[in-house]
Structure 1
Amino acid sequence: IGERQEPWGTTARIGRGGREDVLDSHSKGEVGESVKTKLEDLVVKLHEIDVLKFGDFKMKVGINSPVYFDLRLVVSYPEIMEELSLLLWEFSHEGEDCDHLCGVPYTALPIATLISVHTRIPMLIRRKEIKKYGTKKLIEGKFSRGDKCVIIEDVVTSGSSILETLKDLQGEGLDVTTAVVIVDREQGGRQNLLQNGLKMKSLVTLTQIMHILCEAGKVDIATVDSVERYLAVSQIRPDGTFINNPEPREAKVGRLNLSFSERAQLSHCPMSKRLFHIMSEKKTLLCVAADVTSGSEVLALAEQVGPYICVLKTHADIVDDLTGDDIAALTALAEKHNFLILEDRKFADIGHVAGLQYTQGPHHIATWADLVTVHTLSGEGVLNGLMLGLGALSPAVNRGFFLVAEMSSQDHLMSPEYVSATVKMAQKYPHMVAGLVCQSSNIISAPGLIQLTPGVKISDNADSLGQCYNSPEHAVVTRGADVAVVGRGVVCADNPALAALEYSKKLWSAYQRRVATAK
Structure 2
Amino acid sequence: MASHPTLKTTFAVRSEATTHPLTSYLLRLMDLKASNLCLSADVPTARELLYLADKIGPSIVVLKTHYDMVSGWDFHPDTGTGAKLASLARKHGFLIFEDRKFGDIGHTVELQYTGGSARIIDWAHIVNVNMVPGKASVASLAQGARRWLERYPCEVKTSVTVGTPTMDQFEDAEDAKDGEPVTVNGNGSNMMEKPIYAGRNGDGRKGSIVSITTVTQQYESAASPRLTKTIAEGDESLFPGIEEAPLNRGLLILAQMSSEGNFMTREYTQACVEAAREHKDFVMGFISQEALNTQADDDFIHMTPGCQLPPEDEDQQTNGKVGGDGQGQQYNTPYKIIGIAGSDIAIVGRGILKASDPVEEAERYRSAAWKAYTERLLR
Q: Shift of the alpha carbon at 1:442? A: 4.7
C-alpha spacing 1:444/1:285, structure 2 compared with 1 (3 Å): farther
Q: Shift of the alpha carbon at 1:264? A: 1.2
- Alignment correspondent of 1:276: 27
Runs of 4+ in 1 over 4 A off after TM superposition: 442-447
- Alignment correspondent of 2:234: none
**SS across alignment from 1:265:** helix
Counterpart check, 1:412 vs 2:274:
no
> Rg larger in 1 or in 2?
1
- Alignment correspondent of 2:350: 488
- Alignment correspondent of 1:466: 328
- Alignment correspondent of 1:497: 359
Q: Which runs of 5+ in 2 are unaligned?
A: 155-246, 311-321
8 Å CA contact 1:263, 1:447 repeated in 2: no
Counterpart check, 1:262 vs 2:13:
yes
Q: What TM-score do the two structures reach when normalised by structure 2?
A: 0.68
Q: Shift of the alpha carbon at 1:470? A: 0.7
- Alignment correspondent of 1:421: 271
Higher helix share: 1
Which of 271, 279, 284 does residue 434 from structure 1 map onto? 284
- Alignment correspondent of 2:198: none
- Alignment correspondent of 1:301: 52
Distance 1:271 1:322 in 2: 26
- Alignment correspondent of 2:145: 390
Distance 1:466 1:388 in 2: 35
Counterpart check, 1:448 vs 2:310:
no
Counterpart residue identity of residue 487, structure 1: G
Q: Shift of the alpha carbon at 1:386? A: 1.4
Q: Shift of the alpha carbon at 1:255? A: 1.0
- Alignment correspondent of 1:316: 67
8 Å CA contact 2:138, 2:275 repeated in 1: no
Which of 360, 384, 398 does residue 115 from structure 2 map onto? 360
1:242-281 CA-partner distances (Å, limit 9, x unpaired): xxxxxxxxxxx61101000111122121111111011000
Counterpart residue identity of residue 136, structure 2: G
Distance 1:261 1:437 in 2: 21
Counterpart residue identity of residue 515, structure 1: L
- Alignment correspondent of 2:38: 287
8 Å CA contact 1:408, 1:468 repeated in 2: yes
Counterpart residue identity of residue 326, structure 2: S
8 Å CA contact 2:293, 2:300 repeated in 1: no
Q: Which runs of 5+ in 1 are unaligned?
A: 1-165, 168-195, 197-252
Distance 2:292 2:63 in 1: 25
8 Å CA contact 1:441, 1:478 repeated in 2: no
**SS across alignment from 2:127:** strand
Distance 1:448 1:258 in 2: 11
**SS across alignment from 1:367:** helix
Distance 1:269 1:482 in 2: 16
Q: What TM-score do the two structures reach when normalised by structure 1?
A: 0.50
**SS across alignment from 1:452:** strand
Q: Shift of the alpha carbon at 1:447? A: 5.1
Which of 85, 88, 95 does residue 333 from structure 1 map onto? 88
Distance 1:450 1:390 in 2: 19
Distance 1:295 1:430 in 2: 33
Q: Shift of the alpha carbon at 1:282? A: 0.3
- Alignment correspondent of 1:457: 308
Q: Shift of the alpha carbon at 1:516? A: 1.2
C-alpha spacing 1:302/1:478, structure 2 compared with 1 (3 Å): same
Q: Shift of the alpha carbon at 1:392? A: 3.1
Counterpart residue identity of residue 450, structure 1: I
Distance 2:309 2:273 in 1: 29
Counterpart check, 1:351 vs 2:106:
yes
8 Å CA contact 1:315, 1:345 repeated in 2: yes
**SS across alignment from 1:440:** coil
- Alignment correspondent of 1:37: none
Which of 381, 386, 393 does residue 136 from structure 2 map onto? 381
Distance 1:444 1:339 in 2: 28
Q: Shift of the alpha carbon at 1:290? A: 0.5
C-alpha spacing 1:505/1:447, structure 2 compared with 1 (3 Å): farther
Distance 2:290 2:359 in 1: 29
